[in-house]
Amino acid sequence: MTTADVIPQLTAEVRAAAHPDATPCHCGATTTLAHRPDTTVLRHAETVAKAHAPGTDPTALARRLATAAHLPDVFLAPLTPTPATVLGTRPVTLWPYGRPVDPDAPDAAPWEAAATLLARLHRTPPLPATPAMRGPAKAAHATARLREALAAAPGHPAAPPVLRAWSGLPAWARAEAPMPGTRTLCHGDLHLGQLVRHPAPDGPWRLIDVDDLGVGVPAWDLARPASWYACGLLSPEDWTRFLTAYRTAGGPAVPKDGDPWPALDVPARALTVQTAARYLAKALAADRALDEVEQSLIDACVRMAPE
């Protein structure tokens, strides 16, 4: 099944889920919220359907859904406890609609809410058989995609520092060894796009996206804002808001006071490389120059892994 084939079939699924009693639909069109090779998300009325990546392990996904349902004060709860159907090799999950963070209102970004939700998540004992958090695997995938892009367009000067920075990470951060001994429940891919208000439009903030949820190193969930702060892409004020709220809520990823960077250093470096690799692969595929944000991440990789 191609990515194009998913849209009409997922449209039928989300419309049926929104109207299980087969009543006539007067609630307008179905909206595509995301459509990529690894994710397709559609909304119809107040129902959202997500087709997960091809080959997603349905057992692991079901356990992640169970965790989200078990933590309604942290996660948006799924509408069904298991995947609703499978399109080809892509499990489909159903969710209530929540209003996302407004990217055009950075001053209203919910850093405190994100940090508080993470702290609650990290303090919660995982359910039995919870799979591993997929953060390092996702970073490894981004680096592999960059290598594939370089095979088709070799010689880009930004590539060597990214790959050197990657090779300088410990094996666990490259998904080449088990994560250090921890049983902490983690989101695995935290950024502001992973928060919604439910019920929309003004309900409490909740985390979404369970694809990378699992047990692992909790500092990984703080690593993207830490990376952006270190690269100059997140203001010191916003970083302080986030870190202070996490500590106030009793988050265990960093000490309750003092220097947080011994705990954050490796995950923040890994997220810097992951994001730089992803941006560079996209730039190579589009045969375009890097923009200012993308170049700042490459520059950070240069500082991380000098020649």
Q: Mind listing the pLDDT tens digit for each residue in 163-188? A: 999 999 999 999 999 999 878 999 99
Exposure pattern of 291-300 as b/e (b: 16+ CB <10 Å)? Answer: eeebbbbbeb
pLDDT digit string, tens, across residues 60-118? 999 999 999 999 999 999 999 999 999 999 999 999 999 999 999 988 999 999 999 99
DSSP characters for 119-177? HHHHHSPPPTTPPBP-HHHHHHHHHHHHHHHHHHS---TTHHHHHHHHHTS-GGGGTSS
Q: Are strands 85-87 and 90-96 parallel, antiparallel or unpaired?
A: antiparallel
Q: Copy the structure tokens of residue 75.
A: 């996660």
Residue 307 has pLDDT above 90, yes or no: no
CA distance to 54, 73, 125, 192, 267, per residue, from 250 (Å): 37, 16, 14, 20, 20
Kindly list the domain boundaries of the chain, sorted by start residue. 3-96, 106-304
Share of the chain above pLDDT 70, in %: 98
CA distance to 32, 72, 197, 231, 267, per residue, from 208 (Å): 17, 11, 10, 26, 21
Q: Are strands 184-186 and 195-197 parallel, antiparallel or unpaired?
A: unpaired
Specify the higher pLDDT residue, 93 or 24: 93
Specify the higher pLDDT residue, 25 or 270: 270
CATH code of the region 3-96? 3.30.200
pLDDT digit string, tens, across residues 106-122? 889 999 999 999 999 99
Angle at which helix 261-286 crosses helix 159-167, to 10 degrees, equals: 150
Residue 25 has pLDDT above 90, yes or no: no
What's the pTM value of the predicted model, to 2 decimals?
0.95
Cβ atoms of residues 186 and 133 within 8 Å: yes
- pLDDT given for residue 3 in this prediction: 61
Closest of 33, 195, 229 to residue 115, by C-alpha? 195
Q: Copy the structure tokens of residue 73.
A: 């004060």
- pLDDT given for residue 306 in this prediction: 63
Confidence band for 34, pLDDT divided at 50, 70 and 90: very high
- pLDDT given for residue 123 in this prediction: 98
Exposure pattern of 200-209 as b/e (b: 16+ CB <10 Å)? Answer: eeeeebbbbb
For residues 225 and 234, what is the distance between their CA atoms, to the nearest angstrom? 7
Q: Copy the structure tokens of residue 98.
A: 């929540």
CATH code of the region 106-304? 3.90.1200.10
Q: Phi and psi dihedrals of 95, rounded to 5?
A: -140, 155
Same fold, 3-96 and 106-304: no
Share of the chain above pLDDT 90, in %: 91
For residues 306 and 290, what is the distance between their CA atoms, to the nearest angstrom? 20
| Mean pLDDT, rounded, for 296-306 | 91
| Mean pLDDT, rounded, for 184-199 | 97
Average pLDDT for the chain = 95
Query: Cα-Cα-Cα-Cα dihedral of 206, 51, 145, 140, to 10°?
Result: 50
